[in-house]
């Protein structure tokens, strides 16, 4: 979340920047500053009250030692009223602190100056494009029909056992899925990311720590009896490794990668654009997460973008990169680049990765800090990216590599699959 001192010192700039998101911030920012002023006034009075109470307690002790019992008892009555006042002030302080947190949790991150204005994904800015879109035969099929033809993904079986959006991968389809996971992890670890296996359920504090709560509460599966949430991405458990931690400046960069299944309700997602693997309730993803010194986070973001580029080049998939506009930018992100692969049979671009810098927004929620060269605690910067999300990568491979003889396997994946064609 945003830091109150930053808001106080940059009020108009914050309001103007948030307008890029089409977020009317005037009212909530004014309330934040008002509540914080009240909180600070209560805190000052509480500090003075406690200081006076402590001073009187010492005087009472000295009076008792000197045999001045009557004077000591008079002061004890005064300390009793001070304690009552302290209790009342503490309650007021807790109320104001809670209200301040509620307000801050519902204010999105300030966009980076390079984020373009816009209302939706139609206003995103294409910044890079690479790869040749293959020319398919007239009888070429979309991936959901190819999956059925070669018996590699069973959407109906998934619907039977769970519901729509839970496919079952079969035979060479399952092996290709596993090959992609291993390949992505190997690429990430070779680039210096430490591999982790993490829980697939997280507590409420973890959801708040990375900003999925309260913003995405309706999109997360909630295990009510245990008050746990199924993760929408490995970003949540991995970034929460560092909740409440003070890391060493010499530890930067901290680079993590993890494979997990991901669970999203995707409420309200209907229509032709969600067919097949286009949008699922459960899908696999390999994530990369970085904790960085603030001075290096944008260099790190560029490095993450280049890393994902390298993977897509090896897969020989046509792709493009978009800088997200304010209206499409994630709640917690300051700057996001989306990668999209071209689905030749569907004749459309499919998002396969988002690479984002959250600056101090998540770190402030997490209380993730480091000691600078002067020994002062500073908030770190956090970043994450998909490297990569599997469903649409798999869809892109199935469609773009289809031939009259079957579905060819990208050369880089053959050592992982053990076969070169699905036929």
Name, in order, each residue with C-beta under 8 angstroms of 7's C-beta and a sequence gap of 6 or more: 14, 29, 32, 33
* Residue 19 main-chain phi, psi, to 5 deg: -65, -25
The response to whether 287 counts as a known ligand-binding position is: yes
- Is 85 known to sit in a ligand binding site? no
Tell me whether residue 159 is annotated as binding: no
Tokens of 138: 């007239």
Q: Which token pair is 274?
A: 């969600």
Q: Is 265 marked as a binding-site residue?
A: yes
Whole-number Å distance between alpha carbons of 151 and 147 = 6
- The answer to the question of whether 8 is labelled as a binding residue is no
Beta strand extents in 299-423 (DSSP E only): 319-323, 335-343, 348-359, 369-371, 377-379, 381-389, 402-403, 406-408, 421-422
- DSSP SS3 for 267: coil
What span, in angstroms and rounded, lies between the C-alpha atoms of 411 and 340?
21
> Sign of the CA dihedral 30, 33, 35, 41?
negative
- The Cα 211–Cα 92 span in angstroms is 27
354 is in an annotated binding site: yes
- Is 384 assigned to a binding site? yes
3-state SS class at 140: coil
Q: Give the residue carrying structure tokens 């769970």.
A: 162
| Residue 352 annotated in ligand binding | yes
Task: Rounding to the nearest 10 degrees, give the CA dihedral for residues 280, 281, 282, 283.
Answer: 30
Strands 222-223 and 194-196, how do they pair?
Answer: unpaired
Binding residue numbers for L-serine? 233, 264, 287, 384
Binding residue numbers for ATP? 264-266, 351-354
Binding residue numbers? 233, 264-266, 287, 351-354, 384
């Amino acid at each position: 979340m945003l830091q109150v001192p930053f808001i106080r010192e940059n009020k108009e700039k914050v309001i103007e920047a948030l307008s890029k998101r089409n977020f009317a911030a005037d009212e909530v920012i004014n309330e934040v500053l008002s509540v914080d002023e009240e909180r600070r006034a209560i805190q000052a009075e509480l500090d003075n009250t406690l200081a006076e109470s402590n001073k009187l307690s010492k005087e009472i002790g000295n009076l008792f030692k000197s045999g001045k019992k009557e004077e000591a008892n008079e002061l004890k009555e005064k300390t009793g009223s001070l304690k009552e006042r302290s209790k009342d002030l503490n309650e007021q302080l807790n109320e104001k602190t809670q209200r301040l947190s509620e307000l801050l949790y519902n204010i999105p991150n300030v966009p980076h100056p390079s984020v373009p204005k816009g209302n939706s994904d139609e206003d995103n800015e294409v910044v890079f494009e690479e790869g040749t879109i293959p020319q398919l035969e007239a009888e070429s099929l979309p991936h959901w029909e190819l999956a059925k033809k070669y018996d590699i993904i069973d959407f109906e079986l998934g619907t039977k056992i769970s519901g729509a959006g839970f496919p079952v991968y079969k035979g060479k389809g399952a092996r290709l899925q596993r090959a992609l996971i291993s390949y992505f992890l190997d690429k990430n670890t070779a680039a210096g990311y430490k591999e982790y296996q993490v829980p697939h359920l997280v507590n409420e504090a973890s959801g708040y720590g990375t900003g999925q709560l309260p913003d995405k509460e309706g999109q997360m599966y909630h295990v009510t009896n245990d008050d746990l949430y199924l993760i929408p991405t490995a970003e949540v458990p991995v970034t929460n490794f560092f909740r409440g931690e003070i890391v060493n400046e010499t530890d930067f960069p901290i680079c993590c990668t993890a494979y997990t299944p991901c669970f999203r309700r995707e409420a309200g997602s209907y229509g032709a654009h969600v067919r097949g693997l286009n949008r699922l309730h459960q899908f696999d993803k390999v994530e990369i997460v970085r904790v960085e010194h603030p001075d290096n986070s944008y260099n790190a973001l560029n490095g993450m973008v280049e890393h994902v580029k390298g993977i897509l080049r090896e897969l020989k998939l046509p792709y493009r990169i978009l800088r997200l506009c304010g209206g499409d930018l994630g709640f917690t992100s300051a700057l996001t680049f989306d990668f999209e692969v071209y689905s030749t049979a569907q004749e459309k671009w499919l998002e396969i990765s988002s690479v984002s810098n959250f600056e101090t927004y998540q770190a402030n929620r997490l209380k993730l800090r480091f000691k600078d060269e002067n020994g002062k605690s500073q908030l770190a910067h956090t970043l994450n990216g998909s490297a990569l999300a599997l469903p649409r990568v798999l869809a892109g491979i199935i469609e773009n590599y289809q031939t009259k003889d079957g579905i060819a396997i990208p050369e880089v994946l053959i050592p992982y699959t053990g076969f070169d064609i699905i036929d």
